[in-house]
Structure 1
């Protein structure tokens, strides 16, 4: 008796376009940070229930970066909610536990805002773990 395979869902073009724009924004942010002297440790680092777009290091700073791409920079700036900040800080704790050589670094949570037709905007210390 053969089992029928589940039907494959068609990709939503709107959704796949957003995914591609997000990947491009992350690449743009990574290049910008490298030009500023940061070393990329991880891209799209996953922990249960969360993902950190970029984890970078410069000197003794271990920086967890959230990249937001929107049509307008102002929209990108307000796109990071309380629940997402909580997930990012929890994932950062997991990263440090999994990579003890970085555990003694000073930590910071940055945002990079990306919008078509504008230069990316880096916001160091956009939020902290004690929000």
Structure 2
């Protein structure tokens, strides 16, 4: 039987970035719940990309990209047009698996997280036409 070499462990920087992302998403979800949103999904993965948070409030479903940076302004510029398109495509996939939400208003938000700052929620940060 052929030996298979296990893949090397991830670099410490990658592990730290992953943990920072999880922490930011947890803070973002708590912030959204405090604002009256119900979290429908976290880290929803599709072949097109991942949606950090899917949240509902009344007749609205928001697909939310969470960005954590040292400064809130840096986080705001971290959602690139290419990433926006991947989120839009992933949202379409989410709606295919959750058709009961397809008739609701849809919105694409960003939630920015930085140390020692309150989260900044950018409502309608981008739209599906990007």
| TM-score interval (norm. to shorter) | over 0.9
Q: How does 1:52-131 map to 2 (within 5 A)?
A: 52-131=51-130
Kindly state the Cα deviation for residue 27 of structure 1 after the two structures are TM-superposed: 0.2
Q: Give me the TM-score of the superposition, normalised by structure 1.
A: 0.96
Residue 48 of structure 2 contacts residue 89 of structure 2 at CA under 8 Å; is this kept in 1? no
The residue aligned with 1:15 is 14
Partners of 2:53 and 2:108 in 1: how far apart?
10
Partners of 2:75 and 2:55 in 1: how far apart?
21
- Measured against aligned partners, the alpha-carbon deviations of 1:44-73 in whole angstroms (never above 9, x if no partner) come to 001103000000000000000000001111
Partners of 1:25 and 1:54 in 2: how far apart?
11
Kindly state the Cα deviation for residue 98 of structure 1 after the two structures are TM-superposed: 1.2
Q: How does 1:38-57 map to 2 (within 5 A)?
A: 38-57=37-56
Q: State the aligned residue count.
A: 130
- Measured against aligned partners, the alpha-carbon deviations of 1:11-33 in whole angstroms (never above 9, x if no partner) come to 21111001000000000000000
Cα RMSD of the aligned pairs, angstroms, is: 0.9
The gaps in structure 1 that reach 5 residues or longer are none
Kindly state the Cα deviation for residue 125 of structure 1 after the two structures are TM-superposed: 0.6
Kindly state the Cα deviation for residue 8 of structure 1 after the two structures are TM-superposed: 3.2
The residue aligned with 1:32 is 31
Partners of 1:76 and 1:123 in 2: how far apart?
11
